Amino acid sequence: VEIRERADGETHVLWIEGELDLSTIPELSRHIGAEFGAGSGQALTIDLSDVTFMDSSGLRLLIELDKRAQTEGWRLALRAPRHEGAKVVLRMTGADEALPFEEDSRP
Amino acid sequence: VTMLSEGASMDWERFSSSTDVAEWPREAPDGYARRDRGESGNAGLRITLARDRRAPSLARNAVRAFSEERELPIESATLALLVSEVVSNAVLHSDAPVASGILLCANVLDGGGVRVEVIDGGSGFDATPLSPEAGRCGGYGLYLVDEQASDWGVDHEYGTCVWFELEG
Q: How far is CA B20 from CA B50, B86, B113, B141, in A?
A: 8, 21, 29, 27
Which value, in Å, is the radius of gyration of the alpha carbons in chain A? 13
Note whether A52 contacts B: Cβ–Cβ < 8 A. Answer: no
Give the helix, strand, coil percentages of chain B, each rounded to 5. 40, 20, 40
B3 or B107, which is more confident = B107
Note whether B92 contacts A: Cβ–Cβ < 8 A. Answer: yes
Q: Is B159 helix (H, G, I), strand (E, B) or coil?
A: coil
Q: What ipTM was predicted for this assembly?
A: 0.92
Q: Is A76 helix (H, G, I), strand (E, B) or coil?
A: strand
Q: Which of B130, B138, B64 is nearest to A53 (CA)?
A: B64
- Say yes or no for a CB contact (<8 Å) between A22 and B132: no
CA distance B134 to B137: 9
B129 DSSP assignment: P
- Say yes or no for a CB contact (<8 Å) between B140 and A59: yes
In B, minimum Cα distance to A87 occurs at B77
Q: Is B135 helix (H, G, I), strand (E, B) or coil?
A: coil
CA distance A20 to A3: 11
- Looking at B2-138, list the stretches that DSSP marks H as alpha helix, in order from N- to C-terminal side: 6-16, 55-69, 76-93
Q: What is the mean pLDDT of residues B120-135?
A: 55
- Say yes or no for a CB contact (<8 Å) between A88 and B141: no
How close, in Å, is residue A6 to chain B by CA atoms? Answer: 28
- C-alpha angle B105/B16/B143, rounded to 5°? 50
- C-alpha angle A65/A71/A72, rounded to 5°? 85
Q: What is the pLDDT of residues A40-79, one digit of tens each?
A: 668 999 999 999 999 999 999 999 999 999 988 889 999 9
Please give the distance of CA B99 from its chain centroid, rounded to a whole number. 17
- Say yes or no for a CB contact (<8 Å) between B85 and A22: no
Of A19, A57, A89, the CB nearest to B88: A57
- Say yes or no for a CB contact (<8 Å) between A21 and B57: yes
B contact test, residue of A1, A19, A23, A51 with most B CBs within 10 A: A23
Q: What is the pLDDT of residues B68-104, one digit of tens each?
A: 999 999 999 999 999 999 999 988 877 777 667 899 9
- Say yes or no for a CB contact (<8 Å) between B88 and A63: no
Residue B13 has pLDDT above 50, yes or no: no
Note whether A92 contacts B: Cβ–Cβ < 8 A. Answer: yes
Note whether A57 contacts B: Cβ–Cβ < 8 A. Answer: yes
Q: Report pLDDT for B132.
A: 44
Of B60, B78, B92, the CB nearest to A88: B78
In B, minimum Cα distance to A1 occurs at B57
Q: Report pLDDT for B139.
A: 67
Q: Report pLDDT for B93.
A: 77
pTM of the model: 0.80
Q: What is the pLDDT of residues B22-40, one digit of tens each?
A: 333 333 344 444 444 444 4
Note whether B56 contacts A: Cβ–Cβ < 8 A. Answer: yes
pLDDT band at B155 (very low <50, low <70, confident <90, very high): confident
